[in-house]
A and B are shown apart, each in its own frame.
Chain A
Amino acid sequence: MRVLIVDDEKLARDRLRELLNDIGGYTVVGEAMNGAEAVERTGELNPDVLLMDIRMPGMDGLEAAMHLMGMENPPAVIFTTAYDQHALDAFDVNAVDYLLKPIRKDRLAKALSKAHKLTMKQITEINQARPEPAERTHISVHLRGNIRLVPVPDILFFLADSKYVVVRTPTEEHLIEDSLVNLEKEFGDRFLRIHRNALVATGYIKGIEKSPAGTWQISLKNLDKKLDVSRRHTAQVRRWARNRPMSA
């Protein structure tokens, strides 16, 4: 069985490696230091199981699991954690396997022997159980079976397009399967709804101007494109413009 070890502490990774060695029958195919790396490595190395810490800098373990669950054939995930009371309670409720640090060999062996795949629902529920449910730091984009992670701060806008949502960064455009309603719910403090089909990152708004046709349009930093503000959302956009911080 191929195992990927994910932890930001080197000695913690070493320990898992040694314990796996003792147990035998498992190959460590690689290591990752945070969630984003874990997602990348999973795409490259195709492990069967991930042993993943929850608290990591950048992208944490739960978010990484969320992205992985979107894969066609996701690996099984066993979480390792030192102490995270809310998450542990949620794990128990959702029957998700986790190991407490310091990690015991027999517990590890048992967890690996029955390693099973998680579902998106389980992970979402665990995330919700935390004192402050996390919003994703990245959006995962699936490209020919591979995962690409797009950092949320890089995103200019989301544009709904019949079946898909277009994710636009200064340089690229991706399609994801999600709904604007969900995205707005999750990233509401960062994005502004300007149209039934568009969410714009407030940080990238350069100005609001009136088009010759009399409708309002939003111009963006870093991209030469104007987005229409729908009649229904005009009031909301103008309210935002009035209250925007001076630095913007």
Chain B
Amino acid sequence: MEIADKTRPWIDRLKVYGRNLEQRLGRKMPSVETPPNGQSEFLPNFCAGEVVFNVVVVAEMLAIVINLIIPRNFISATPLQDLLLLSIFIQWVALAGTAVLCYTRKHLNRLPNLRALGMAYLLLLLTTFTVSECTILLLWAVGRLRTPFPEWYTSFHILNLTISAIINGLLLRLFLAKHELQSRTLSEARARLQALQSRIRPHFVFNSMNIIASLTRSAPEKAEAAIEDMADLFRMMLSQDETLVPVKNEIDVANKYLALEALRLDNRLIVNWDVGKFPRKAVMPVLTLQPLLENAIRYGIEELPAGGTIDVRLWEDNDQIHIQVSNPLPKTKSKQAKSTPGQSLGNIRQRFQSHYGEQATLTSTEDNGRFTVTVVLPTRGGNP
């Protein structure tokens, strides 16, 4: 009887384990589909038919395994009877645990994740205890036991709970890991999307297309050139890899972008370039310069009815590339510009960080109505 008791809680725990495994698999789709406020629900749905079915199957498999390892004539006369009794107990614990979590999930999910986890853990232990107790009472009620407190009563519970505690601990640990993985995947996907959107600003795209549509009538050659520039620019923006390119290439890309903006902004946009000498090996991440210029146009030139001048300086010094972009600022920030230029630099800063770590710096200053961004990068590129 001792061993049987020992194995039982084991089984319960394994069952719960299996059950959670099922949930994990069964719940995967819905949780990804419905991230209500960006956060998927921490505890999966234990009431789903598929989950319950899986729990039953796994519990039964465990019952079979345990039936194979217990000595014969230990619980009852025949192996088949052993299996029957084991199955009943195991299924009972498993389904009780599932039901408890099913009904409490709504409340648990309202708690902070760690507390929800702790509560679920306690509930499962409580379920184990209750079912064990019920088993003894039942055996006593049908006359199989002479007393509701047989000599193995205490050790039965202690064993059940110990094993339950250990297996539940493991299980919830896995649970947590899975949840973290899932939320990390989600936030990564979101970050990637954001990165793409920050590269291609819809406002710029559609305005440019409108301009090109206008040019096809008045100046077809200009329209042609604009489409070519746009295609090149898009190719860069859509490329997934963050390669390092020679400084000259990056300046070319920036010029294509500026050509498009110049069409749009007409004589409101003036750009002064001051490019120093660069060694051949000087490289920077693709699309380093363009976002800086876009920032200057968006928060500077576009907001000024009369436009203004953007100063771009690039020079190499002490094995470092220095980039300085400065633009005039509107006197009264209009409503759209309330998100200050500084904020939109966050994305750019992040990219530098992923390329160079602490080796790259991006600083911005506002002085005398001009906003200046200064970037310093190692000439040889970092570790992409």
Contacts and interface: CB of A to CB of B under 8 A. Distances in A.
Interface string B31-52: 0000000000000000000000
Contacts of A137: 332, 334-335
Contacts of A92: none
Given A14-B218, A57-B302, A9 B207 contact: yes
B115 to A, nearest CB: 34
Contacts of A34: 305
Nearest to A101: B210
B343 interface: no
Interface in B19-33: none
Main secondary structure of the interface of B (DSSP, over half): helix
Nearest to A8: B305
A18 B214 contact: yes
Contacts of B217: 15, 18
Contact of A12 (B214, B303, B336): B214
A58 B214 CA distance: 24
Chain A contact residues: helix, strand, loop or mixed: loop
B231 interface: no
B206 A153 contact: no
B336 A82 contact: no
Given A58-B334, A83-B202, A102-B210, A11 B305 contact: no
Contact of B214 (A11, A55, A59, A83): A11
Interface string B249-283: 00000000000000111101000000000000000
A89 B283 CA distance: 43
Contacts of B235: none
Contact of B211 (A12, A59, A132, A153): A12
A134 interface: yes
Nearest to A153: B332
Contact of B206 (A14, A83, A135, A152): A83
Contacts of A102: 206, 209-210, 212-213
Contacts, number: 89
A55 B212 CA distance: 19
The range of chain B's interface size is 20 to 34
A11 B263 contact: yes
A57 B303 contact: yes
B208 to A, nearest CB: 9
B214 A57 contact: no
Contact of B266 (A10, A59, A84, A132): A10
Given A12-B214, A82-B210, A135 B335 contact: yes
B146 interface: no
B335 A15 contact: no
A60 B335 contact: yes
Contact of A132 (B207, B213, B338): B338
Contacts of A57: 302-305, 330, 334
A82 B335 contact: no
19 contacts: A9-B265, A10-B266, A11-B218, A12-B207, A15-B210, A15-B217, A18-B217, A55-B203, A55-B336, A57-B305, A58-B330, A58-B334, A59-B334, A60-B335, A83-B202, A101-B210, A102-B209, A132-B335, A134-B336
In the complex, the 5 A-B pairs of residues with the closest C-beta atoms, listed nearest first: A134-B335, A15-B214, A82-B206, A101-B210, A83-B202
